[in-house]
Each structure stands twice: as C-alpha cells, then as structure tokens.
Structure 1
Amino acid sequence: MSRRTLVFFVCSPHSRTGVTTAARLLTDYYLSRGVPVEGFDTDSREPNYALLFPKVARVVDIGDVKGQISLFDRLLVADDAPKIVDVWSRSYDQLFATIAEIGFLEEARRAGVEPIILFQADSSQTAASNARLLNTTWPNLWLTVIHNEGAAPLRAEAHDILARYPARGKLVIPKLESAIAAALDDAELSLSTFLHAPPPHISIVVRAALKAWLLPIFTQFQSFELRMNLQSSEFLR
C-alpha cells in the first residue's frame, strides 16, 4: 500500500460555521492515537486553534509572502504526519487564489501529498456555490462536507441543503447542550487525553456527555482515514 501524507484544509467562506471546532477535533483524533500532526492557523487576529495546540500548531498570515512560504513549503513535506490548516473565513479567498497561482495541488501530488478539503456546510446558497466552484476548478480534489449541527444547524432542510454540495462523503458533528459545550471553551482541556484521563474537576455528568459526543466523531474520522488509505492502495487502482 502506497500511503500519501494527508493535508486537510478545514474551511468555509463564512464565519461561525464550526471550522475551528472541526480542526480541533481532527487534531485531537490524531493525537489520541499517538500520530504526530502539524497544524496551521490562518487567523492572525484571534488564533484560537493555535492557542489550543501551542506545541503542534503555528499562526501563519497568508496575506504576505513570508506567511505563504511558511505554510505551503511545510505542506509539501511528505513525512506521513497529517497537516491540518484552520482556514479563517477572511483568508478563504486568499488561500485558494494562492493555491491556484502557485500550482500547489499539482505539486502536492508529485510530492506524495494528498490535499483534502473539509468544507463546513451552512444553509446559504453561497457556501454551496463556493464548494461547487472548488469542484469545478479542481475536479480531482477530494472534498468532504462537514455538518456541524450546533454551529450551523440545517434543521429539516438538511438533506436538501447537503445535496447541493459536490462532496465525497459527509461528516457530522452533533450539537451539544450549552452547559456541556461550555466545557470545550477551556483551552486547557485536551480532548486527545480526555477519553482515558478525564480531568477530575469536570462534572461526572459533563464527562459522560462529552464522551458520548466525542467517540462517534472519532469513529467517523477513523472510517474516513481508512477510506483514504484504501484509495491509495496500488491494488485497488
């Protein structure tokens, strides 16, 4: 089996759709399995993702050349360590314009790197249009949609809205009750260690609810990773 280094762009053209939550969960998924991971936060104003992972994530400003070099040169390193980019909504247009300008996707595949878009769905037409534009521009680019039921609820129209997205698969982040979700605001809470060593100061009720929420999400990531590995198999081509 020929493995390729996975590079995830967790993104949305809109704010408050759950981008940082998804990037956090994916990072913690890999860390919980002892897999080295490298993260990048493109929000230079409020780098919440980088604050959650000070040892593995860095802030990059892709509005200048130094930031672009810092980001894209690292993403082209095929070292088997997954790379996760938390794409700030204000960096969305700049990111994909730069990707097109420098020919990043073509260079990535030559280098043994597999770029993946984790696109956060919302109820707007413009979000789905942006996803379709990415698919039209790069038809071979792997795009999976994420529905964060808490950050961007789609309610009864979820099936019809998600059908607008040209995605290979769907990941769902269930909604948490507000009292439980508040625990996630603690930057010191490591979800990668939570399952086997929950902090004793957290209520037993909150611990149980977080575990019941977290396990199915990690299972989805595991299934997604398996699918990617199978796609890379020389025997399945």
Structure 2
Amino acid sequence: MDKLVSSWYNDQSLPESYIFPPHERPGKLLVPRCNTVPVIDLSDTRTNLVHQILKASQEFGLFQVVNHGVPPNIMSETMSVFHKFFELPAEDKASLTVYTNDPKRCKLVTSTLDYDREKIHLWRDVLRHPCHPDCIEFWPRKPLRYREVVAACSIEAKKLGLEILELLCEGIGIEHGYFEHELTEDLLLGANHYPPCPDPSLTLGIPKHFDPDILTILLQEHISGLQVLKDGEWIGVRPIPNAFVVNIGYILQVCDQ
C-alpha cells in the first residue's frame, strides 16, 4: 500500500523516480482543446453512422459518441463509486494490492504491473479487473454498491461496443457478427486515479501509446488531458458531458488492413 501515489502524495515533493527525461516531459505548454475530434450522434441514420464512424476511425483512430443510449445515471453513479473507492482507507484496499497471476482477480497498482522493474513511474493509481459475471465475486466490496453499479455499467459498455463494431463491420465489409462471442467476451475495466501532482510539468499519468485490444470505451467525465496524435501533432480531446470516447485498438486496425 505504501507504493500507491494516493497514500503519500501530500507528504513530499515529486520523487526522482517519477521525473521523466527532458525530451519526454509534458512541460508547461498548454495543449488547446480541439473541436476537430469527431463527435458522432448515434441517433443518426444507420447509413450516416457507418460513414461517419468509418471516416473518423481512419482519419483519427478516435472519436466521441453522444446519444449512445447509456443512461446518464449509470454514468454518474459509476464515476461516483470509483471516486469513493480511491478515497477508501488503506486497509480497505490492501487485499487488492497483492500481486496475483489469477486473471479473475482485481489488481490495484501504482503506475503499472511492472512497477518494481520500471526506471520511471507513472503518476497514477489504477484499478483493473475483468467484467465477466464469473469474476464479480472478486470485485471490491467497498464502497457500497460498487459491484451493482459497475456491473450495470459494464453491461451497457459492452452493448455500446458491439453496436459500434457492427457499424464498423458494415463499413469495412466484414461479415455481420464477426466480433461477437470469443473476440468480445472478455471486458477489462481500468479505472485511473490521478492525485494532485506537485509538478505536473515533469511527469505523466499515461505516456503516449496505442491500445492493443479491439476497442477502448473511455468515460472521460470533465477531465482534460487526453490527447490524440493527428498528422504529427498532439491535439487535446475536449471533454463533452455524457459522451464516451471510443479509441480504435491495434487489433481492429489490423483487421482494417
């Protein structure tokens, strides 16, 4: 537990092990929020949706969706239980910080699972666990209603993901239902917590990366900081209330090729 950023960040300045090399630091330059990242209204006609999603996927690899059908109360309750989870006393989270190879178990770590082998750590705590119904017994018991709320959100997220994949299948000429069953059976949840940082110009919460899976559905809430690389330039993704950010993963990029 002593490794979790949230358990000690108020006690000291930024440790050396969290300071990135000068060429990798974010610095103090502000990345403007960009209005060019596609925002797709899922209540539009199917023909328009297929065209818009395919175009956004090819040009940006990322887009936001609104009117997606996920009830706003489920979205707000989900964010609330995550906030409450990271505010729990250390003893309530201790069992989740024990490393295990069991794929059904929850993992609560600082930076990444490779913390002990990293030269530089990321400024975040992250909770990860599978969302398959067989794994619910291993989910956190606190805060109150965590399991109920997260289960409801994961069901809605899977429905949304399958809907988007179906539209993409139609756009790139893949047979109907190609991504159902084994390819999308396992959902992995990741809740990132970024405590206030003493000097955010020197460190990162998440470095530049591509997602290795099929699809990532992100609830950004009101938090700025997400960026996407477009034509060699990093642009900020503007948070939109009640929207989801959809990121095309590497597996799907390979399928499109």
Structure with greater helix share of residues: 1
TM-score by shorter chain over 0.5? no
Choose 1 or 2 for highest CA Rg. Answer: 2
**Highest RCO, 1 vs 2 (Cα 8 Å, sep ≥ 6):** 2
Q: TM-score w.r.t. structure 1 length?
A: 0.28
TM-score of the two chains, using structure 2 as the length reference = 0.27
